[in-house]
Structure 1
Amino acid sequence: MSIERAEPPAPQGDYVPAVIHGGLIFSAGMTPRRNGVLTVTGTVGEQVDLATARAAATLAASNALAAVRSVLPPEAGGLRCLQMTVYIACAPGFTAASAVADGASEAIAAELGAGALPARSAIGVAALPSGAPVEVQLVAATL
């Protein structure tokens, strides 16, 4: 299990990337940004295909993990992701939200191990900040 500290994406508004309280860490919603720039925009099922949305979810989840790690105390023995919410900006009638969210789960498994997968929700929405196709929010606990 990796607990290395990577820099989380810079906030795009008036908030912090993550907050720790009582051993629980809550990330802000993270979009698929690299160096502050969205890698893809649009609505899944219209401008964005399933494979692209899934890859965007992978990047967004990696950003959420970076945010969580940024507030992890040095004395912590690691972290456990407890819950993940994946929001998908999708076209009416789009029903593959879980397949998009699988990209986010892949990021968690790749970075923390397959046994570290959290409980997960995949929620279709009309729009997300800056036109992002996905946004991922994590709740984790220190070990």
Structure 2
Amino acid sequence: MGQFENKLAQMGITLPEAPAPAGNYVPYVQVGDILYVSGQISKGDDGLIVGKLGDDMQTSAGAEAAKICAVALLAQVKAACGGDLDRLQRVVKLTGFVNSTADYTEQPQVINGASDFLGEALGEAGKHSRSAVSAAALPFGVAVEIDGIFQIK
């Protein structure tokens, strides 16, 4: 087990198997040393995490859903790296989509769930640029979807 997975284990996180795509696309595409990972939806051990921020879900619950998306992103990175997560050099950018009402304005705090997790788990390699935007609806009614761009070796 490498340094990143050791840190995750200390945090009580075991990466799941990388989720299979739910449609006609691939889970990731590598171009040179850049890895583009498709959007990962909020799906925990008990199934899909559904809800609309500003209506039936609180910001803290949305942040937890975003963290779960980040765990799935790392699972995809590990799969793309042949099982060696230590090939990850840097999280370059995240784009977070938050299923939220028209007047909800805390999308950044929701996506902080992913950003804070990646910073804690990966240290300097986890610092990234990002966008956090509202979506009127997301697939299957999930609360959050996040895609990512990563640099790998």
Query: Which deviates further from its counterpart, 92-101 or 26-35?
Result: 26-35
Name whichever structure is richer in helix by fraction. 2
Query: Which deviates further from its counterpart, 101-110 or 11-20?
Result: 11-20
Q: How high is the sequence identity, in percent, across the aligned residues?
A: 28
Tell me what 2:4 maps to.
Answer: 2
Asked if 1:66 corresponds to 2:59, the answer is no
Q: Secondary structure at the match of 2:115?
A: helix
Question: How far does residue 2 in structure 1 lie from its aligned partner after superposition?
Answer: 1.3
Q: Is the 8 A contact 1:46 1:91 kept in 2?
A: yes
C-alpha distance in structure 1 between counterparts of 2:64 and 2:146, whole Å: 12
In structure 1, stretches of 5+ residues that fail to align are: none
C-alpha distance in structure 2 between counterparts of 1:9 and 1:58, whole Å: 15
Tell me what 1:13 maps to.
Answer: 23
> What is the CA RMSD across the aligned residues, in angstroms?
2.2
Q: Secondary structure at the match of 2:40?
A: coil
CA deviation profile, 1:69-101 (whole Å, cap 9, x unmatched) = 211257886211100011001011111111001
Q: Is the 8 A contact 1:61 1:107 kept in 2?
A: yes
Q: Secondary structure at the match of 1:103?
A: helix
Tell me what 2:137 maps to.
Answer: 127
In structure 2, stretches of 5+ residues that fail to align are: 7-14
C-alpha distance in structure 2 between counterparts of 1:119 and 1:104, whole Å: 12
Tell me what 1:90 maps to.
Answer: 100
Give the total of aligned pairs: 142
C-alpha distance in structure 1 between counterparts of 2:61 and 2:85, whole Å: 35
Deviating 4+ runs (over 6 angstroms): none
Letter in structure 2 aligned against 1:67: Q
Within the candidate set 106, 110, 113, 2:116 is matched to: 106
Q: Secondary structure at the match of 1:93?
A: coil
